[in-house]
Amino acid sequence: MRFSGFRVFKEAVTGHKGWKPLWRNPEPKPAYDIVIVGGGGHGLATAYYLAKVFGQARVALLERGWLGSGNVGRNTTIIRSNYLLPGNQPFYEFSMTLWEGLEQDFNLNAMVSQRGILNLIHTDAQRDAYRRRGNAMILSGADAVLLNRDQVWAMAPFLNFDNARFPIKGGLLQPRAGTARHDGVAWGFARGADLAGVDIIQNCEVTGFRIEEGRVKGVETSRGYIGAGKVGVAVAGSSSRVMSKAGMRLPIESHGLQAFVTEGLKPTIPGVITFGAGHFYVSQSDKGGLVFGGDIETYKSYAQRGGLPVLEDVVEGGMALMPMIGRARLLRAWGGVADMSMDGSPIIDRTPVDGLYFNGGWSYGGFKATPASGYCFAHLLATDTPHETAKAMRLDRFERGYVIDEKGVGASPNLH
């Protein structure tokens, strides 16, 4: 079943009787070539690219709950490639190019909207840092524009330009960045993977790995044993819990991250605006709600909810940046569990167990990476070599001293 304007019209005049479920609900087979653990954005994208690009025919994806019930449905939907370090930026730019062709590729409207991201500048030092970042972005093939105060004013006159502590002096704009509909992304990858022959098995929790002589043979699940030539784990948020079943300790700590949305308002905010100095960022959804967030919780948590101190900190940032936000009523707040790695950057790599591969540590920035994460993890699973843009994202980089620390705060997962 393909989606098209013609199809929507035809269904409209025939009573919408022709729509079918977007994916099958198959029983697990005894064995597969590749088993993906985790039916979030990254797991679904991995299964999709494994089947579609790398020609793998016997692939299963196991999900403990329902598809997209974790962080892919809990983020603030921002897509961007405005990183600094050479270990990260080419990967995120690869992801950005995949986003640009994604909807045509998997034939579902994921509402990818390239409305730009603006990082605000308040000091000369910050302008220098953003100029350097913009140059790093351009070197990787991405786009970046340094704006002065008047240019930011033209875009967003409602900001508080004369805040005594953080007056706005300019901004770094990435015009190609934007937002996407997060649930649509999960559904698109799931449907695409299913059409390409992947068995998507929901309500199937992995309870253990069968490992013989240092090699993985399959996974024990709540629906019985499933044999596997290779197993790829993509369960960010629960990485430590799942990998501990294979006897591994990870350079990861789990922290809660909250997000908030207001009631629907008329179009106000032109793109995504970040106020790094005040720990606040905001965009406006297509329904009109202002979607915003800030820092992670300071302490470790698996609770999928946040505390009031961070809420207070975020809304203070919001009031400082755009005082008019005080007139909007908060509609919802929610939380997810972020896999905070020890340098704030992700891991896509083999593990010490043969045939067992790991994808995680996405910290609070996993959504934008979804297509490239899936593509690079599929590349690694299918070819046993890392994708060109993910070569630095090694599990053993901490031991070797090759951390990718964008923020430069060291092994403090609550500060990245």
Stretch of 111-119, 180-188, 191-199, 294-302 contacting another protein, by CB under 8 A: 294-302
The piece of 64-72, 130-138, 295-303, 363-371 that touches another protein (CB under 8 A) is 295-303
Is residue 402 a contact point for another protein (CB under 8 A)?
Answer: no
- Which residues, numbered 238-267, are part of the site for another protein (CB under 8 A)? 238, 240-241, 244, 249-254
Q: Is 29 or 241 the residue whose CB approaches another protein more closely?
A: 241
Question: Kind and range of the H or E element at 61?
Answer: strand 59-62
Nearer to another protein by Cβ, of 50 and 246: the residue is 246
**Which one-letter DSSP state was computed for residue 391?**
T
Within residues 309-328, the interface with another protein by CB under 8 A covers 309
CA angle 147, 148, 150 (to 5 degrees): 115
Q: Give the C-alpha separation, 35 to 61, whole Å.
A: 6
Stretch that binds another protein, among 117-125, 170-178, 221-229, 293-301 (CB under 8 A): 293-301
Of 391, 378, 34, 390, the C-alpha closest to 226 is: 34
H/E element holding 371? helix 370-383
Smallest gap from Cβ 300 to another protein, in A, equals: 6
**Among residue numbers 323 through 352, which ones bind another protein (CB under 8 A)?**
342
Nearest-approach distance from CB 254 to another protein, in angstroms: 6
Among 299, 354, 383, 409, binds another protein (CB under 8 A): 299
Q: Interface with another protein includes 398 (CB under 8 A)?
A: yes
Among 22, 111, 333, 411, binds another protein (CB under 8 A): 411
CB closer to another protein out of 57 and 303: 303
| Nearer to another protein (CB atom), residue 9 or residue 402 | 402
Inter-CA distances, 209 with 125, 217, 255, 297, Å: 50, 8, 25, 32
- The residue among 19 and 299 lying less far from another protein, judged by its C-beta, is 299
Work out whether 359 is an interface residue with another protein (CB under 8 A). Answer: no
Nearer to another protein among residue 59 and residue 243 (C-beta)? 243
Contacts by 327-331, CB closer than 8 A, 24 or more apart: 328/262, 328/263, 328/265, 328/290, 329/262, 329/263, 330/260, 330/261, 330/262, 331/261, 331/262, 331/263, 331/289
**Distance between CA atoms of residues 226 and 28, nearest Å:** 8
Judged by CB under 8 A, which of 188, 294, 317, 413 binds another protein?
413
Q: How far apart are CA 155 and CA 339, in angstroms?
A: 34
How far is C-alpha 242 from the geometric centre of its chain's CA atoms? 19
In this structure, what DSSP letter does residue 123 have? S
Cβ atoms of 205 and 222 within 8 Å: the answer is yes
The contact set with another protein (CB under 8 A) reads 238, 240-241, 244, 249-254, 298-303, 307, 309, 342, 398-399, 411, 413-414
